Amino acid sequence: MATKIARSPRIRRHIRVRSRIQGTRERLRLSIFRSSKYLYAQLVDDDAGRTVVGMSDRAIGKKMTKTERARAFGEAFAKKAREAKIEEVVFDRGGFSYHGRVQAFADGARKNGLKF
């Protein structure tokens, strides 16, 4: 029997998105999770089943709005990914709508050289 959380609209969207997106060694999957306070992002190699780079926006300054912090987090995450010699990724929005903090994160990551 399916649990209540598995039937939530976001989880259903995430399952639908993940059926089309897969991270490989050449092009990792950039997966994000948006809680009510923070953003979490990680680069995942689905073939090997491991996380290559993971980060949270908790380290980013708290004297800004959540959207501004998401943009700064995207830039910092892209810098960390480039240090790991990762240039191109597949963006997995995790079932979240592509606006607000999710879009700000993606714009910040693209600004610092991550291609997706």
CA distances from 100 to 26, 34, 62, 68, 75 (A): 29, 11, 17, 10, 16
Instruction: Delimit the domains of the chain by residue range.
Output: 1-18+27-37+62-116
What is the model's pTM? Answer: 0.88
47, HSE (Cβ side, Cα atoms, 13 Å): 6
Note the CATH architecture for domain 1-18+27-37+62-116: 2-Layer Sandwich (3.30)
Mean pLDDT of 41-56: 94
pLDDT band at 3 (very low <50, low <70, confident <90, very high): low
Q: What is the pLDDT of residue 21?
A: 87
10 Å Cβ neighbour count for 22? 14
Residue in the block written with tokens 């991550």? 114
pLDDT per position as a tens digit, 62-112: 789 999 999 999 999 999 999 999 999 999 999 999 999 999 999 999 999
